[in-house]
Amino acid sequence: GIGKETARELARRNARVILACRNQDKARDAAEDIFKTTGRHVVCMQLDLCSFDSVRDFASKVIASEERLDVLINNAGMMSPPNREETKDGFEVTFQANHLGHFLLTHLLLDLLKRSQPSRIVVVGSVGQTLGRLDCNDLSFGEYWFPLLNYCTTKQCNMLFTVELSRRLRGTGVTVNCCHPGYVRSDIANRSEDIQTWLFNRLLDAYGKNVKQGSETTVYLAVSEDVETISGKYFSDCKKSFAVPWATDRIKAKQLWEESLKMTKVKEAV
């Protein structure tokens, strides 16, 4: 998917790349494919964003093994399943995979990012944020269930997280930006069977970007000198784009931040 193509391009640029993946068999296959096309080895490590224990274990291993971290790319994401599911941590699975897991991981790696500054965080979001309807009083997503809307709300969370994190990181030498990769047919919707997602995927088959094209804005935010001092913004097609007001609302961003701290039980790093 987009993550593999992002890793491939960064490896091609001689970066040390860590592939953080839930499925290690797929990670090894991806690493082998990247080596064949770039001649560069990438490191595979286990990470399941739907498990806070896994996130903490991964972060501790990175901190122990790496002297610096120049770029953290929060790429992983999933569509909502047809019926509501919870993780073993007790949260709606899409919300944890797309927001809470990244929130916790970023917090745990912030000290390393600060020591490595200037450094960057890239949050892979979606234009789906425009359809998000976040209610911070119902983060269990239990009031009603509509898979596509739920996914879009987690993408709204990505942008709100970017806004609040950027505010808190001012003066640290660490920047954070969010991007829409474009309409890309990837494996993100593999678990979703609802008719809206099926129809959307048929449109992607016909008109969407390929995964290489979909990785371009992520890579741009990771390496381009053009964005070295830019933070808290939303990008699409390698340029700044418009983010809807309800995805950049600072009051809602702060409220989501505070609720996320409680849910992850992480010590605030900024």
Which residues carry out catalysis? 151
Backbone angles phi, psi at 74, to 5 degrees: -90, 90
Beta-ladder partners of 45:
20
Tokens 């340029």 -> residue:
239
For residue 104, CA distances in Å to 36, 45, 128, 201 come to: 33, 17, 22, 30
As a whole number of angstroms, the distance between CA 103 and CA 38 comes to 31
Residue 116, both tokens = 């490595």
Cα separation of 119 and 253, whole Å? 22
Task: State the burial class of residue 83 (Cβ atoms within 10 Å of its Cβ: 0-12, 13-18, 19+).
Answer: exposed
